[in-house]
Structure 1
Amino acid sequence: MSAPQSDCVETSDVLQSFISMYEELPVLWNPSDSNYKNKNKRNAALVKLLSVYEKCKPGTTISDVRRKINTIRCNYRKELKKIEDSKKSGAGTDDVYSPSSWVFHALQFINNFEQPVDLGNSQAQLDEEKEDVENENPSQIQATTSRSSIVPPLEPMPKKARSIGPIARQNELLQKACAYLDFSSKNNETEIPTIAKAWGEKLLQLHPLQRALAERAINDVLFEASQGTLHRHSVKINEGFSYESSTVASPVDSVPQIPSPQQQGFRSTQNDRLVNFFSGYE
């Protein structure tokens, strides 16, 4: 009985093929690439790397490929840091640290995105890749052994709802209410007929008594109309009315008039009779 076959150990040839394929997929390392933020494009690129990496590690997954990328990039940054520290120490040109690993030189295409003096961007990029690993759904990405593997599209991650305090929530509701009232008032103004505004201006110019009578007549007409009882002969203005016998005082009638001499004599006689009448009871 033969001994079980052991897993193939990662060789320099496999790693070199892995890095070469990685260089051909800028969607995974170049932030200026148009598809850098496209999860589907990135996963399709990872599947291509998977087909290379699983040659030495059968059964490997997309998560393993991501971790491998993070490992080689982390080592690359460490080498950059050593070079930078060597230059800052005042070492001469011949004494500046020079990496001996061929992997460092093979990764020169990511040099512009891995500057040690700006580690914040690199760290942010690694954090994003780490987040992709944590959010990865195994049921959505199935590892295959061929380059023609199809990666199911990932569902977009829902954005975390912004939490707001009770005061901010109240302010937001008040703003919405004010906006609604302002919108409603503007709509109501546009719905009022222009002729109604003209009527209102005319009413303001009338004598108070005449305005009251006019408003009463208008209200009566509107009431009958709202009840559906208004007809062509409903409105009758001053029908059978005589201005000479009218008891309604007009603005002119309200001015006191000086009695004539005959009226003054009649009133004097009446007053004398009343005085004589009441004097008999004293």
Structure 2
Amino acid sequence: MAHSPLPAKPLEWTRTNTLHFIELLKEHPSVWNIKCKQYKMRNIRSVSLETIKSDLSSFVNCTLQNKDITKKLHTLKTQFYREMSAIKESQNSGAGKGDLYTPKLWCFDELRFLLDGEARASTSNLDEGETNTAQLQHSEENFTSQTVSPLPSIHQELMASEKKGSQQSESSLDISKFVDTELKNMSEMQQKLAKKLTCLVLHMGGMGDLARDHKVVRVDAAEKERDQLAKEEQDRKDNERKEEQARLDKLAREEQEGKDKKKEQARLDRLAKEEQDRKDRIEREEKQQAHELLMAQTSTTNSSPAHPHSLRVIPL
């Protein structure tokens, strides 16, 4: 069944798309690293470029051209080396460590791998503020050439590498011709799959990760189904654990809320009792004062002398 072509729409270089493109560049140094052996091999570079273009087209869901890849690569390299130049100028100015230029490019750290493909000052020297004059001059010249001259097209690069074929070893040429011949005998889909696997093997070899027991293994439908079922089962268990934990958390919250309500009710009851005791005490004190006042008035009345007009004088 033929795959429907991706919709033709302009590519938006969002940060997500750019970071994915940077990761693809890291996986395929033959596209940008002039120190890489595969950089001078036309077929391998072409395969790497096609792989990047295919992967990125699927990721961003639109059809890309070679010029889109080379233009973005040139833009990233230009921005990165502009920041590098600013750092070096800051160091050469004698500024203190705290006053050194801070890169403003958001993906500056992600692009440090580009230094592996150029004869530039090491990152450790940049961090320590120590630079080699000869390396610095050479890197500034390279940086100037990067910013002034446009990035050559893939066709021009391939033609240039083809002219340098005489400098390649016979074994490299034989391998290149062999791969090219074998690819021509495959269908379009098989070519894409073979290119993808070839780039993966070359990348692992370049990183020193290949071993004698490495081999290409086809994953059949049954194994895929088993893996899918195992994944679904694991997801189900994870969801059950999450639901159970959520239920326990809810019960714990409800229990805590009940305890908090009881504590609050007990506090209100205690305050109400204290208020009632205060009122009772005030009432008792008022009654006691009234009783004492009454007793005092009664005692005064009983002890007062007779009225002088009530006395009679008896003559002698």
| TM-score normalised by L of structure 2 | 0.38
In terms of fraction of residues, the more helix-rich structure is 2
Higher RCO (CA-CA < 8 Å; seq separation 6+):
2
Structure of larger gyration radius: 1
| TM-score normalised by L of structure 1 | 0.42
